[in-house]
Every structure is written in structure tokens, then in C-alpha cells.
A and B are shown apart, each in its own frame.
Chain A
Amino acid sequence: MREAAPQAARAWVFGDDLDTDQILPGRFAPFMVGQERFHTYAFCDARPGFSAAVRPADILVGGANFGCGSSREYAVAALKTLGVGGVVATNFARIFYRNCINLGIPAVESADAFVVVHDGDLVTLDLAAGLLRAPEGDARLRPLPAFARDILAAGGVVAYLREHGDFPAVSV
């Protein structure tokens, strides 16, 4: 991984089955409002004020099936533009997970983060130690697959392919 020293950041906690329409409603797609503004509508229905209050490196914490629904990558692109440092959830919807890894945002499963972390907590995402450190205790992170780790280390799949010309090797 690209190992900048992990920094403390605010945790934004969401529930189960957070769908991509909540992360960024379709009516505010870049396609609808333009590339310059779309990220300012992140969570505008589900958590008004989010895009103004979120700071670079902040961490989203969620329950099961995080990012379900539409394949819209711009939901993740909005988080990327806002500087979100990672998403830790009980588990992820598959397209959202791929989109995060592809755009270089760590998406990490944790069975206990959703329980240990409260909205507004100051947390530290320590991928090297496999922990999300929070005031009430550390949540254990499920190790990322090597394939995803390689892509994240490059900063996303586009950067990886530019560097290596092909996908990371799959173990046979």
C-alpha cells in the first residue's frame, strides 16, 4: 500500500443497505448538473450538509450491503472529489466495491466497525495494522485481497494499468 502515516479523521456513520441514490441522487449526476458541481450534492437527501462539512481523509462507516443499487460510479467519484479517505462497512454491494478500488478509495470490510464507531468519532484508518482505531476501541479490518491491494497501491486501476500495462496477476 501507499503508506502515508494514518491520520485521525471524522467518522460518518450510515446504516445498512445505503444505496447509491442516497450517496448521490440520479438527478444530480454529473450528466445532469455538470462535472464541476455534482459532488456538492453527495448525501444531500440522506445527510443534508455533508458535502460542506466533510473534510479530506474523513472515513465513512456503514453496515451491510453498503453502496447497493445503481452502478453509478459518480457516487464514488463524488466521495473521491470530496477527499473521503476510506469506507469501512460490514460488507459492500459488489459494483460499489469495484468502483472504490478502481478509483483508489480503500473499501474495507469490518464486522465490528459499525458497532464500535459512532458518528462524529475521531478515527484512524490503519490499513497496515488492519485496524480502524476509534475512541471506544479498535475495529478489526478484513484484509484486502492482494489484487485489490495492488490496485489501491497504484492509486486506482487506471494508474495501475498505465504503470504495468495489464491487470495484476491472478493466482492460479
Chain B
Amino acid sequence: MSGKTLAELILSRASGRDVRAGDLVIAPVSRVMVHDSVIDAVMAGLRDLGMERVWDTSKVAVFVDHAAPAPTPVVADSHRVLREWVRGQGIQSFYDAGEGVCHQIMVEEGYCEPGTVIVGSDSHSNSYGAVGAFGAGMGATDIAVALALGRTWLRVPESIKVSFAGRLRQGVTTKDAIMRVVREIGTDGARYACVEFHGAGQLPQGDRVTLAGMTTEMGAKAGIVVNAPEAPEWLRPGRDATYVRAVEVDLTTLEPQIAIPPRVDQVSDVSDASGIPIDVVFLGSCTNGRLIDMRQAAAILRGRRIAPDVRLEVVPASRRQFEDAMADGTLGLLSAAGAVIGSSGCGPCLGRTGGVLAGQEVCFSTANRNYRGRMGSPDASIYLGSPYVAAVAALTGVIDDPRPYLESTDDEFDALVSRRRAERPGRGAASARSGDRSRQLLAAMPARSGPWVVGMEEED
């Protein structure tokens, strides 16, 4: 019998059976994560099950983050119901509006026990693989069942091995690395699978969250980092474990990447996209809203003001990240550059609160999704990328390779910014011009399995 993948190891241990990819298991969960948007459906599920008490209050963590603080009276009512439910159940691990994104807190506060199964009501619960947990996102009824029984059913996933070799160059980040992987695998290339990351265990914890969380965008059931420092000794994939696919990324030659709307897997080198005008920049989310990300943006924006026609919103992923960024001066610096600093949470990532997008606006976001309508108007467009590229977009009003800015003298830097700003078309033209450039870019891209889609024209 060959060795096991991480998914096979964890699900064998959890289910108490020797299982392999394709087997169905019923496994205990070590934690259930519940967030604000689903509380009505979760409560209804528990009620309909006739099991209104959660199975173990110490293993449940609840978050108000997706639309927080409440933007409307309807949402405010829902939050009130959620608070009453938490109090009634006697759940201690409760994080109200402003504490941060569920996934960031789950990882940084140690709610994710490595080597165990954790289910969460949000699709990016894959993030828990950052510390070697099998984290899977599920819908409200699945969550209600897990809360009632302390167990869930899973098909043991096949695994895809992603290996990183070499070191990233200055100005290139883990976000760029995972976007390169999404470019390779596609939005459905890891459907039902576990993406296993090799060569990433040494990364900072936050960067590992970026990797594991983005596996959701490839359709994965879970994404787990091999050799995370938090992981137990037994959690090592067998040398001869079976993988359905292997993808290798040479970090040494990697350029900053951007995703072209409205697909996360329409990924291009930033150098091919330079000059695309941007109206709004969002720096935040469970993907890139940590101190390290804010510092990267600050490295570009230090002592300068963002472009006059551009808005920048910064939303720290958690109160801890918020306070760390205040303490070291990063937030002050970003504010001085013209950023709006939002309270910790999901922010505008999913268009429910914060700076939602108007029709025709073009956004550059450090988050994880650029679907049509994701951040507000269905007629807005969203580019995705790293905090460095986001900061350059805020400063110049256009997408550009951040590396020359990081490597230049002050005079060269200012000349670069002036040139880019001068080249940017005026207010209102950003969307039309971005659309043209997107079409050119996609036409120049090599053929791939999925269809390439441009702008807002893909529907029907």
C-alpha cells in the first residue's frame, strides 16, 4: 500500500478507518466556524432537526464579519438574533463586528487544530490548511448538522501536489505565487480535490493563509500546507503518495500576477497589463489584509499621496493586525497617503458593506474573487493582485509593475509616478479603456482549457 496524502492521513485518523481518495467517511469535527450571513438558515436547520443545542459549545466559534458593522436595519436585526443565539447557547468564542475576518481569527487565535477536520460556513474555510488542518467550507444546513452532531460526511478527496521551488524576488509575493497556480489549474481544476502545498511550510503563517484560502478559487475541498511548523510529526505525506496532478512553480522567475475580470483564473503577468486605469483600490480580506500586506503597500505609499482620481480603502483582516499596523506606524502612513481605513472584517470584498463599487468603476483588489457583481454593481470590474500592485495602482491610477518603484531612487520614483498619472485617461474613461486592454490581453494569451471571458459579456 502506498503512502498517504495529507487529506488521506487526516481523514483516516479522524474517521478511525484506513481510507483513501474516493472513500466516503463520517468524521468528527474539531471545530465548527459560523459567520453572520448564515445564522438564520443555521438556526432554522437546528430547529428543523429538533436538535437546537450545539453538541459542544467549546468547539464552536462565531463571527460577525461579512456585513459588519451592520449597514442596514435588516442586517442589524440579523446580528441581534445572532448575538441572542450565541448567548442562549453559551458559546464563549464569539467575535462581534470589528474583531475581524473569521478565517484570520480562526488561524491567528489558534482555533485550528492541525491534523483535524474543521468545517466552516464560509467557502474560504480552506484557509485552515495554513496550519495543517483539513478545513472545508459548507452551506448552512451542513453546518447545522455539524453543530448538532459534531460530525460531518466527506468524500476523501484526490490530491493535487503543488511544489514551489526557489525564492521570490523583491516585489513578488505569495499572492503572485498562488495566482500563478490558479492560472495553471483553473477555477475548476481542483474540484473536489485537496491541493497540497510542498515547499511552503517555511512561509509566515499569514502567507500560508493566502495559499490555503485561494484553493477555494480552484474548486478545492481543502488546501493544506505540508510541514507547517504548527503541524504534528505524523502529518507528513508519504513519499509514494498518489497525486492526480503535480504542478511546479519556479518562484525565482515569477513576475507579479494580476487576474483579469471577471475570472480568477484569467491571470497575466503584470508587465503585460501595465497602464490599465483603476478607480478604486481595496487592500484587505482574509487573502491579503494582514500587517505584512499593509507594510508592502506602505513601502510604496510612504510619504506620498494617492492619485487624485483614485480611492483607496484599507481593511485590516483582524483587530490584532489592525493594532499591530497602528503600533508600527503603518496605518498612520496609509492614512496620510489618503487611504480610508475600515474596521476589521470582510469589508467591501463581497460588496455588502464598506466602499461598494458603482457601475462602470474599475477596482484593483487584493482579495480573492473578481466575479461580476462581487463588490457592488454588476457593471463594475475587478482586477486582483498583490498589495504591491494595489499600492502602485492607488498611487498612479493605473496597473503597473511595482518592482521599478521599489528599486528606484526618490527622483526616479516621482518621475515614474508623474508619467503614469499623465498617461491615465481622465475620470469616467477608466472603465472603457480597461475593457479594451482586457480584450487585447486575453487575445494575446495562449489557448487554455476553459473559455476566456472578457468584461461583462460572458452572461448568456
User: Which A residues are within 8 Å of any B CB, using their own CB?
Assistant: 15-17, 19, 21-22, 25-27, 29-35, 45-47, 64-65, 68-74, 76-77, 91, 93-95, 98-99, 102-103, 145, 147, 156-158, 161-162, 166-167, 170-172
Contact = CB atoms under 8 A, between A and B. Distances in A.
A65 B188 contact: yes
Interface of B: 17, 23-26, 36-38, 40-41, 45, 48-50, 66-67, 72, 74-75, 78, 121-123, 137-142, 144-145, 148-149, 151, 153, 187-188, 191-192, 219, 221, 263, 350-352, 356, 369, 371-374, 376, 378, 450-451, 458-460
A147 B188 contact: no
A95 B371 contact: no
Contact of A170 (B123, B153, B373, B450): B153
B141 A45 contact: no
A167 B188 CA distance: 28
A73 B372 contact: no
A19 B67 contact: no
A170 B25 contact: yes
B187 A68 contact: yes
Contacts of A32: 67, 72, 74-75, 352
A62 to B, nearest CB: 12
A60 B153 CA distance: 26
Contacts of A93: 188, 191, 219
B459 A147 contact: no
Given A33-B74, A102-B139, A147-B153, A45 B378 contact: yes
B191 A26 contact: no
Given A26-B351, A32-B352, A170-B26, A103 B123 contact: no
B150 to A, nearest CB: 12
B26 A167 contact: yes
Given A31-B78, A71-B121, A98 B49 contact: no
Given A21-B371, A46-B460, A31 B140 contact: no
A15 B372 CA distance: 15
Contact of A46 (B25, B67, B450, B459): B459
Nearest to A161: B49
A157 B143 CA distance: 11
Nearest to A19: B371
A34 B378 contact: no
A17 B459 CA distance: 11
A71 B221 CA distance: 11
Most chain A CB within a 10 A radius of its CB, from B74, B144, B356, B371: B371
Contacts of B374: 21, 26
Nearest to A171: B24
B139 A69 contact: no
A158 B373 contact: no
A17 B139 contact: no
A71 B35 CA distance: 12
Contacts of B37: 29, 31, 72
B187 A17 contact: yes
B123 A69 contact: yes
A61 B350 CA distance: 27
Interface pairs A-B: 5 shortest CB-CB: A73-B139, A65-B188, A71-B123, A99-B139, A170-B24
B78 A45 contact: no
B138 A98 contact: yes
Contacts of B460: 15, 46-47
A64 B188 contact: yes
A65 B17 contact: no
14 contacts: A15-B458, A21-B372, A22-B371, A31-B36, A33-B74, A70-B123, A71-B122, A72-B38, A73-B141, A95-B123, A158-B144, A158-B145, A161-B49, A167-B153
B459 A31 contact: no
Contacts of A161: 49, 145, 148-149
B223 to A, nearest CB: 13
Contact of A68 (B75, B188, B373): B188
Given A73-B38, A91-B188, A94-B192, 8 more contacts: A31-B38, A45-B372, A46-B460, A65-B187, A98-B139, A158-B48, A166-B149, A170-B153
Nearest to A47: B460
A102 B122 CA distance: 16
A147 B24 CA distance: 9
B451 A16 contact: yes
Contacts of A47: 459-460
B137 A71 contact: yes
B7 to A, nearest CB: 13
B350 A69 contact: no
A158 B23 CA distance: 23
Contact of B352 (A15, A19, A26, A71): A26
B50 A65 contact: no
A30 B74 CA distance: 9
A114 B284 CA distance: 38
Given A65-B219, A71-B122, A17 B140 contact: no
A101 B141 CA distance: 10
Contacts of A162: 48-50
A64 B449 CA distance: 12
